[in-house]
């Protein structure tokens, strides 16, 4: 069974209390309009949101699934731990900030600072997957996990902005494009993705096409760049001589 | 009991919202109040305000001064000054509604004035400069008087409180305008007081601002060389004066001003050198000539002026901003929910890039109706 909540003008405190205290595992939130922190820290539920959730959607999410039929605002999945957030629209700035595990899948485009400070540990490897394009500072200070930008509908331009991967020292970025990102820092290296690289993201691309349609093989048939930290040119003596 | 730092967290950051009807259709003030109210949690009740354009069509050829007075003595001194320098054609208290959420209000007066031609002639200034000088003089020299709005056919309404309460207090549903901007304040470095609420205004320029500019003192030192006085204990004031100086006095376009205050990085300018050498040269010239007017630190602002509004983010885009439109109306807000609240089916929702100005002017039809 599922529970239905009409958010409307409800304050986020009340909405989140209703979600947390609901005995149902599936919760449908209708008429959502800017309520913050939806699903923060929540485990074991599927939250379906119709409308525009507010900032910090799924912050610290701990094993729930969230599906948004609309656009998301800023700081989606901030420090999230486990679970999946699927957005049938665009997303604002900084999705996946400091993310530790789980998946964020965005149908359209996202703003600045996607996936910054993402990290990974053992089998906990987070994923931020963006269908369209993103702004500047993609993967800034990335320490782990995967970021995939499919650039669908933006085949004529590079679908990532400036300062991509600044301070990156772990994880990987995959970009479906023929156009190399500009102003890459010397501490990361850029490669043409080979077949084994594409296999590594096949499940991610299939998750995208299962959620929103499209053909995974066709997408994977395109050219991808892969960006990883350049171990031959590590950060040294950036602040102190050690 | 007063909670100490660390015992309470106030999750917030300022909110801004604005809208304009390109075709000059008049939009009720209640719309902008509703929009900003959906970002309630971005403010903390220490300031809210609105600017409306085209709200005084019956007095559109007169400067509308909105003034806070702490005392009747300050009012009498100010009115003596106004009588000496202006033809005052109408004066009254601004209508307000007593509500529990808004307390300790000063005396709030409105004057429709025109400068005396003899005074303008003897000052050897143009009319706008004469008016601006008078406003700066009153705000500096008359203790307890503060002109917080001084343009034609526009007005600022602001107070200490949450923006939706400020809108109710000033009865904004009794005003209609072709453009509105609004602000919900969460002051970080300065006390919340009536004069410190946004928008900040000089003549018809108004600024609402979410952010905190780290270049404040460099900007202040530069702009004060040109007769402005930054006395209001907040960083947003200086942005207003920068726009006034660069647009009204230096006659630079708003696009050019954006590339001065949110200048592209040198590395980006280098990128234009081969493909667009003229553009690179211009950007270099601006960065060198007006280096003290570069605004650093996070900001998203909406500038209001006669005939249009402009939105701008800092070049690193450290604050959020979305734009949407439906028919002839363009909406700008910190969060999409503030736009959907008043236009549920608006299309084309997008986020401008850092440093990319969004300038929306009245159409020819709008100008005929409103200007």
Distance from CA of B321 to the nearest CA of A (A): 9
Quick one: which of A144, A216, A155, A226 has its CA closest to A191?
A226
Tell me how many domains chain A contains.
Answer: 1
The pLDDT of residue B55 is 98
Quick one: which of A114, A126, A116, A227 has its CA closest to A176?
A227
Task: Count CB neighbours of B278 within 10 A.
Answer: 8
Per-residue pLDDT for chain B (371 aa), expressed as one digit of tens each? 344 444 444 444 699 999 999 999 999 999 999 999 999 999 988 899 999 999 999 999 999 999 999 999 999 999 999 999 999 999 999 999 999 999 999 999 999 999 999 999 999 999 999 999 999 999 999 999 999 999 999 999 999 999 999 999 999 999 999 999 999 998 766 667 898 899 999 999 999 999 888 999 999 999 999 999 987 767 889 999 999 999 999 999 999 999 999 999 999 999 999 999 999 999 999 999 999 999 999 999 999 999 999 999 999 999 999 999 999 999 999 999 999 999 999 988 999 999 999 999 999 999 999 99
Among A36, A52, A74, beta carbon nearest to B340: A52
Distance from CA of A122 to the nearest CA of B (A): 32
Say if A236 falls within a structural domain: no
Q: Where are the beta strands (DSSP E) in chain B?
A: 15-21, 27-28, 48-53, 63-69, 86-93, 107-115, 145-149, 154-159, 176-177, 179-184, 200-202, 205-211, 299-305, 308-313, 322-326, 329-333, 347-350, 358-361
Say if A101 falls within a structural domain: yes
Say if A123 falls within a structural domain: yes
Q: Which domains does chain B have, with CATH numbers?
A: 15-55+153-214+237-243+300-370 (3.60.20.10)
| B242 close contact with A: CB closer than 8 A | no
Distance from CA of B30 to the nearest CA of A (A): 17
| Residue in B with minimal Cα distance to A32 | B337
| B352 close contact with A: CB closer than 8 A | no
Q: Look at A73 and B320 and tell me if their CB atoms are within 8 Å.
A: yes
Say if A217 falls within a structural domain: yes
For residues A165 and A235, give the distance between their C-alpha atoms in angstroms, rounded to a whole number. Answer: 13
Chains A–B, number of C-beta pairs less than 8 Å apart: 57
What DSSP assignment string belongs to A30-75?
A: EEEES--STTTT--S-EEEEEEE--SSTTTT-EEEEEEEES-B-SS
Among A71, A93, A183, beta carbon nearest to B320: A93
ipTM field: 0.94
Say if A13 falls within a structural domain: yes
Say if A234 falls within a structural domain: no
Q: Of B14, B230, B346, B370, which one is the catalytic site residue?
A: B14
Cis peptide before B13 (omega within 30 of 0): no
The pLDDT of residue B235 is 82
CATH of the domain at A42: 2.160.20.60
The pLDDT of residue B191 is 67
CA B201 to chain centre: 5
For B199, the 3-state DSSP assignment is coil
Annotated active-site residue B14? The verdict is yes
> How many Å is the Cα radius of gyration of chain B?
20
Q: Look at B268 and A90 and tell me if their CB atoms are within 8 Å.
A: no
| A33 close contact with B: CB closer than 8 A | yes
Interior/surface letters B228-256, b for 16+ CB within 10 angstroms, e for the rest: bebebebbbbbbbbbbbbbbbeeebebeb
The pLDDT of residue B300 is 96
| Residue in B with minimal Cα distance to A71 | B336
For residues A171 and A229, give the distance between their C-alpha atoms in angstroms, rounded to a whole number. Answer: 8
For residues B371 and B362, give the distance between their C-alpha atoms in angstroms, rounded to a whole number. Answer: 9
Say if A240 falls within a structural domain: no
What's the pTM value of the predicted model, to 2 decimals? Answer: 0.94
pLDDT grade for A232, boundaries at 50, 70 and 90: confident
Domain hosting A143: range is 2-229
Quick one: which of B148, B156, B134, B150 has its CA closest to B67?
B148
Say if A115 falls within a structural domain: yes
Q: What is the 3-state secondary structure (H, E, C) of B267-319?
A: HHHHHHHHHCHHHHHHHHHHHHHCHHHCCCCCEEEEEEECCEEEEEECCCCCC
Task: Count CB neighbours of B109 within 10 A.
Answer: 19
- Mutation site, A15, A53, A73, A140, interface B, largest B CB count within 10 A: A73
Whether the per-residue pLDDT at A237 is higher than 70: the answer is: no
């Amino acid at each position: 069974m599922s529970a239905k909540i009409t958010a409307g003008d409800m304050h986020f405190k009340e909405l989140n209390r209703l979600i947390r205290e609901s005995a149902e595992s599936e919760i449908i939130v209708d008429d959502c309009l800017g309520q913050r922190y939806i699903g923060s820290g929540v485990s074991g539920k599927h939250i379906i949101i119709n409308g525009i959730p507010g900032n910090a959607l799924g912050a610290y999410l701990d094993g729930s699934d969230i599906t948004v039929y609309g656009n998301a605002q800023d700081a989606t999945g901030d420090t999230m731990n486990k679970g999946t957030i699927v957005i049938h629209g665009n997303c604002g700035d900084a999705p996946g900030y400091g993310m530790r595990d789980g998946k964020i899948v965005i149908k359209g485009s996202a703003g600045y600072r996607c996936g910054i400070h993402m990290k990974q540990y053992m089998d906990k490897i987070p994923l931020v997957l963006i269908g369209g394009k993103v702004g500047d500072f993609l993967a800034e200070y990335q320490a782990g996990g995967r970021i995939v930008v499919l650039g669908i509908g933006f085949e004529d331009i590079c679908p990532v902005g400036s300062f991509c991967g600044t301070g990156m020292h772990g994880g990987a970025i995959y970009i479906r494009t023929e156009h190399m990102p500009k102003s890459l820092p010397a501490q990361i290296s850029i490669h043409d993705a080979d077949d084994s690289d594409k296999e590594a993201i096949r499940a991610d691309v299939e998750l995208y096409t299962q959620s929103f349609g499209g053909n995974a093989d066709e997408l994977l048939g395109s050219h991808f760049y892969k960006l990883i930290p350049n171990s031959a040119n590590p950060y040294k003596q950036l602040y102190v001589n050690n | 009991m007063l909670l100490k730092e660390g015992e309470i967290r106030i999750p917030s950051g300022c909110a801004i919202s604005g809208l304009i009807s390109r075709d000059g259709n008049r939009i009720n003030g209640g719309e902008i109040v509703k929009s900003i109210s959906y970002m309630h949690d971005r403010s903390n009740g220490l300031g809210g305000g609105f600017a409306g354009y085209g709200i005084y069509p019956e007095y559109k050829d007169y400067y509308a001064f909105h003034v806070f007075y702490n005392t009747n003595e300050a009012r009498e001194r100010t009115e003596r000054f106004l009588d000496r320098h202006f033809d005052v054609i109408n004066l009254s208290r601004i209508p307000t509604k007593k509500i529990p959420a808004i307390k300790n209000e000063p005396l709030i007066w409105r004057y429709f004035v025109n400068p005396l031609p003899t005074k303008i002639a003897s000052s050897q200034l143009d009319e706008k400069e004469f008016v601006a000088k008078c406003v700066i003089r009153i705000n500096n020299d008359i203790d307890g008087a503060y002109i917080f709005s001084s343009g034609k056919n526009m007005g600022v309404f602001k107070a200490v409180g949450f923006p939706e309460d400020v809108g109710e207090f000033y009865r904004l549903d009794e005003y209609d305008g072709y453009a509105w901007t609004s602000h919900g304040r969460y002051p970080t470095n300065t006390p919340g007081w009536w004069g410190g609420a946004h928008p900040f205004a000089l003549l018809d320029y108004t600024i609402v601002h979410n952010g905190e500019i780290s270049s404040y003192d460099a900007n202040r030192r530069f702009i004060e060389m040109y007769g402005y006085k930054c006395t209001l204990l907040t960083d947003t004031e200086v942005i207003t004066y920068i726009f006034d100086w660069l647009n009204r006095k230096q006659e630079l376009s708003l696009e050019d001003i954006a590339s001065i205050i949110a200048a592209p990085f040198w590395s980006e300018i280098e990128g234009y050198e081969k493909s667009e050498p003229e553009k690179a040269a211009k950007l270099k010239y601006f960065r060198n000539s007006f280096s003290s007017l570069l605004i650093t630190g996070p900001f998203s602002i909406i500038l209001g002026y006669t005939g249009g509004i402009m939105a701008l983010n800092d070049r690193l885009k450290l604050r959020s901003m979305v734009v949407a439109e439906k028919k002839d109306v363009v909406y700008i807000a910190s969060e999409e929910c503030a736009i959907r609240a008043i236009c549920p089916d608006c299309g084309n929702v997008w986020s401008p890039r850092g440093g990319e100005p969004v300038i929306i002017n009245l159409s020819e039809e709008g100008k005929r109706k409103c200007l």
